[in-house]
Structure formats: C-alpha cells, structure tokens
Structure 1
Amino acid sequence: MILSPRRLLVAGLAATVLSFVTVACSGGEQPAPTAQPSGDCPAEPLSVVVSVDQWGSIVSQLAGECATVNTVVSGSSVDPHDFEPAPKDAALFEDAQLIVVNGGHYDEWATKLAAGSAPDAPVIDAVELSGGAAHAEESNPHVWYNPAAVTAVADAVTAEFAKLAPAAEDYFTERHAEFGDSLATYHQIVGSLKATAGGKTYAATESVFDEMAAAVGLVNRTPPGYQAAAAHESDPSPADLDAFLRLLGDRGVDVLIYNVQTEGSVPQQIRAAAEQAGVPVVEVTESMPPGADSFESWQVGQLSALAEALGVGG
C-alpha cells in the first residue's frame, strides 16, 4: 500500500481550489471521545469504538449526542497497518456496544481486539460491506474513497444504532438524513467529474485514491510493476521506476495522484518528474488531515483540486 511504513504528520494540506470549501490543518494524536452525549438524547447513550478516523468522523456525525464515539487511530502519523494498540486502546473495546472497523488487511488489530474484548458487540466492517474480501492481501482496503462504501457504512451504522437504542430510532434517522444532506456537494462533484472527466488518465504513487478514481471514471496508467511493488510496501525495481518516469516525461497521463503522507525519495522523484513535464499533481492523504472539520470537507477539497487539475467543472 505504501512505499515506506513510516508516515509524515501532515502539517498542511493544500487549500481547496474552489471557493466553497477549505481544509485546515492541525490536530491531535490521542484517541478521544467525540460527540459527547447530553440530555438531548432520548435514550441511554451508546458506547462506540471506531478503528480509524476516516470512519470515525462519519460515525460521530451519525451518533450525535446519543453515543460516545472513541476513535483509536486519529490524527496520527502512525500507519494503521503497523499500529500496535496499547492497553488503554484495548480497554476502549471492553465496554463497546458497537465497533466499526475498516477491514481487509488494513486494521486487523482492531478486528482481533473486537473478538477478544467485546465478542458480543456487533462489528461493522467497511471492506465487507463494499464487497471486498475480508483478508485478501491483494485487495485495495482504502474503501472510504468509494462513495458506495460510504453510503453502505452510514446505512449499516444507523441500522445498528436503532437496534441497540430503539427509543432513539427517530433521532438516529434524523441524524442519518442530515449526514446525507451534508454529502450533497461530495456527490455533486463525483457526478460532475464522472460526466466531464470520464476516460481521462492518471498515475498514482500509491493505490490510496484508486477507488475514487474508478468512481469518477478515470483510467489508471500506473506501470503495473510499480503498482505491485507499492502494494507490497517495497521499493520498485529500477526498470519499474524508469517506466513511471518515462510515462510522466512523455505526458502519458493527465494527472499524477500524490499521497503527501508517504515519505521517501522515490515518490519525491516521481513528483519532480511530473512537475518538470507539466503533468498536474493532485495531493491526497490517506487519513483525515489534522484539523479537517469533517469527512465531507476533506473529500470535497481533494475532489475540487482534481477537477481543477483536469480542467473540468467540479
């Protein structure tokens, strides 16, 4: 998935190129409860644990004041693949009434903690909901970049909330509707890109954005050898790297998708080649940038930047 297991803390994600959204940058490291319950909840607030903040933001919005949502890996420079939970992290699972994980081979530590510490709690697995294999090493686990998966997870979470707290079913239904409304711009840009940029080409330093690229109809021309090396977190062979650099030098793609959370000389070399050849570079991140106020604003910012780079309406 990444070329190096180390991660850079994102200190500044580029501001969106369209006027309707801005993604800020600042954040925290420790798992912390969000959406603290108050007297507005018509039922006893639930205890929910989410493995990573890509889904934590969504679950918190759906929960409102009817749950305490603890996100384990949030605003961190730690790669969830390599994350080793501390006793305080494991303790979060013990009282969980609902657990939400990404699934696949992305956060297996969370699935193990759920089975060991909260065997009776329902577990929502985003990869499984999106139709992916739970432990397939070759599958792309970055399903939060799949609009259909986002909808499926939101629906599943709301359904479980209603089962666990029937007295708050109407409350959760309203929260779900509000979340759907907040995704209007997100879906509008996805639809616009699909209509105006479908068939355009891209290459990527990682597979993180591939699900979204497919959703908007982009064609992936990343050299296969490079893709395989990145998927196995290894350096590409000189021949595979050279193929990538020649692709960019020949302007063989319309845009380069660049994960700014990846450290290393290889992605930097690829970016430099794109810039030298005049291939637009679109910055994306794997996790929510510190300070991003919601999943929606994070995604809209990146999609807007993609639309500008491709010269289409967003």
Structure 2
Amino acid sequence: MPAPSSLRLALITSASLALLAGCGSSSDSGSDGSASKGSTSSSAIPVVASTNVYGDIVEQIGGGKVDVTSIISDPAQDPHSYEANTQNQLALSKAKVVIENGGGYDDFIDRMLKSGDSSAEVINAVKVSGKTAPEGGELNEHVWYDFPTVGKLADRIAAALAKAAPDDAATFTKNAAAFKAKLKPLETKEAQIKTDHGGEAVAITEPVPLYLTEASGLVNKTPEEFSEAIEEGNDVSPKTLQDTLALFTGKQVQALVYNEQTSGPQTEKVEQAARTAGIPVVPVTETLPKGKDYLGWMTANVDALASALDK
C-alpha cells in the first residue's frame, strides 16, 4: 500500500519539539483527534499506539497504570494515507512502550522512531502474529481481525508493561488473562458460523476482514485485482469491476463485507449492486468506531456477519 509522505518528518526539528513540549502534554490530542482515555496517575507508563484499536487493548491490560496516546483515532481517517506530525513525534519521544501494526500498514511509526530519540520497547503486531505472506502472494496485515493473534498480543503487551513497571506485573498479567478470556466467545461465534455456513461464498471490498471470514469458514470470491486496487488506492479496470459486480447480479455470494472507512465511487457501485440484488452488506472499519471498545466492536462485527448469512 502507498507509504505516507515522509516530507513532514524531515521538517521536524529539535526546536519544534521543544516548542511543543512547552505547550502542554502530547497525550491530550493529536491533529486527528487522538487522545488518552480515562484518568491516570503521574507515574503512569506512557504508551503510544498507531491506532486506537491497539490503544484500547493496552488500556484494558494496563488500566489506570498506563497513559495511552492513539495516533489514529478518527473513524473517517484512512490509516493507509496518514501523515504524521510533530505532536506524534513528541509523544513517541516520551513513550516507554510503542505498539504498531507492522506489515507495511503504519510505517510512519518506524520512520519517526528512527528520526527521533526513542528508547521505547516496540511491539509489532504482525511479528507477534507470526504470519507471513503466502507463496506468490501478499501478507494480509490486518491482524487485529485475527483473535488468536490478539490473544498473543495481549500477553506481549502485559510483558512490556511489566518491564516498565515491575511492581505492577501481576496486575498486567491478570488483566491480560481476563482480556483473553473475553476473546474466547468471539472464537466460539466464528466456529458456529463455520458450522452453519462453512463453504459459503462472500465478497469483500478490501482484505481488512479476511481473517474473520476465513476463521468463519467462508470463501472469498472477490477478484483479487479488485480488492488489491481498492486497498492501494488505485482505479479498478472496467473488466475487473464488471467481474466483481457480476458476483451480485448473478447471486454468487451470500454477503458483501464492506470497508466503509475507505469507500469511493467503485466500492459504492459494488455496495449498490449488492443491495439491489438483495444481498446483505456487512460494514466494517479499520479503527474503533466512536464509543466502542475492541471487544464490543468485534462482537458486533461477528454478530453482523452471522446475521447476514442467516438471512
């Protein structure tokens, strides 16, 4: 996917960081509305997460003992095209723990860490997952839709927080265990979908939900050229668009799982074709919707998928 511009990073100077430091805490808000949630003590561990998905998971494990800044928290912001700024750089310079997705999704984090003075422990979710690109294919980097990966990540976060605050290690371990226990019902729901609908075909607009649909036993029938072009922000060829639309006019799929965070004219045509054909549309996003936590968000996603297939 296209890498965010590094021009702004090149303009960051020690003078601008000093100015920001004098203006107040970086955890209040970023240019896109990123913010720390809840009340924390002055001794709280400063943590930076590339998106509010990982920020929320850290908060559930760290509780009031972490001060989390989520760089991307606006549901209308496309993470693929995010442009980092000096506030982000300042937050990273203060962080003891940094959580990034990796896999090319949020490369701006690595660039900022390299250009600044950071000694933070960096957790890369893709590396934690152990997932690699299939032979001849591309890695699906959207690992937060894979619940076993999120369970591994919870343990990794607890370990990093324990390293930063050894006296609270038992609390972090306990919170991670509780969080992982709440993931189990989601995996059970996926297994039930697989039992009820395994082998059924679905379409997507981007690879975002594929870990969820694959764990649910569903088969993605979308032309790869379509989903790749949409993810990369490129135009879809007329033939590929025609082949994709035929999935709905020909009733070849049972549902469309639609990334509403990066919609455009071509994905809107696909959504309209599904609705016209009476095929259910399941909207998904890449960051947490307002007012949701990770577990509530994913529960709603799995339930929406099951409901669509049951129609």
Instruction: Please state if 1:296 is matched with 2:295.
Output: yes
Question: 1:76, CA displacement in angstroms?
Answer: 4.5
Q: How many pairs does the alignment contain? A: 281
Question: 1:37, CA displacement in angstroms?
Answer: 2.3
Task: Note if contact 1:105-1:137 (Cα within 8 Å) is conserved in structure 2.
Answer: no
- Identify which range, 301-310 or 223-232, moves more after superposition: 223-232
Q: What is the distance in 1 between the residues matched to 2:224 and 2:47?
A: 40
Task: Note if contact 1:50-1:99 (Cα within 8 Å) is conserved in structure 2.
Answer: yes
Task: Note if contact 2:94-2:118 (Cα within 8 Å) is conserved in structure 1.
Answer: no
Task: Note if contact 2:95-2:118 (Cα within 8 Å) is conserved in structure 1.
Answer: no
Task: Note if contact 1:35-1:61 (Cα within 8 Å) is conserved in structure 2.
Answer: no
Question: 1:226, CA displacement in angstroms?
Answer: 1.5
Residues 172-251 of structure 1: matches in 2 within 5 Å? 172-251=172-251
Cα distance, 1:219–1:285 mapped onto 2, change above 3 Å: same
CA RMSD of aligned residues (A): 2.3
Which residue does 2:84 correspond to in 1? 85
Q: What is the distance in 2 between the residues matched to 1:137 and 1:66?
A: 41
Residues 37-52 of structure 1: matches in 2 within 5 Å? 37-38=40-41, 44-52=43-51
Matched residue SS, 1:48: strand
Cα distance, 1:118–1:214 mapped onto 2, change above 3 Å: farther
Which residue does 1:98 correspond to in 2? 97
Residues 1-314 of structure 1: matches in 2 within 5 Å? 29-38=32-41, 44-132=43-131, 138-292=138-292, 294-311=293-310
Matched residue SS, 2:68: strand
Question: 1:31, CA displacement in angstroms?
Answer: 2.1
Question: 1:183, CA displacement in angstroms?
Answer: 2.8
Map Cα deviations across residues 194-236 of structure 1 (whole Å, 9 max, x no partner): 3222211111111111121112111110023323322432111
Which structure has greater helix proportion? 2
Q: Which runs of 5+ in 2 are unaligned?
A: 3-30
Q: What is the distance in 1 between the residues matched to 2:137 and 2:32?
A: 28
Q: Percent identity?
A: 34
Task: Note if contact 1:145-1:211 (Cα within 8 Å) is conserved in structure 2.
Answer: yes
TM-score normalised over the length of structure 1: 0.83
Task: Note if contact 2:255-2:308 (Cα within 8 Å) is conserved in structure 1.
Answer: yes
Map Cα deviations across residues 137-184 of structure 1 (whole Å, 9 max, x no partner): 932221111112111111100111112211111111221122223334
Q: What is the distance in 2 between the residues matched to 1:49 and 1:148?
A: 23
Cα distance, 1:72–1:231 mapped onto 2, change above 3 Å: closer
Task: Note if contact 1:29-1:76 (Cα within 8 Å) is conserved in structure 2.
Answer: no
Q: What is the distance in 1 between the residues matched to 2:242 and 2:190?
A: 32
Task: Note if contact 2:52-2:287 (Cα within 8 Å) is conserved in structure 1.
Answer: yes
TM-score normalised over the length of structure 2: 0.84
Q: What is the distance in 2 between the residues matched to 1:137 and 1:31?
A: 34
- Identify which range, 72-81 or 246-255, moves more after superposition: 72-81
Please tell me the residue identity of whatever aligns with 1:156.
R
Task: Note if contact 1:257-1:281 (Cα within 8 Å) is conserved in structure 2.
Answer: yes
Q: What is the distance in 1 between the residues matched to 2:73 and 2:231?
A: 23
Q: Which runs of 5+ in 1 are unaligned?
A: 3-27
Q: What is the distance in 2 between the residues matched to 1:133 and 1:65?
A: 35
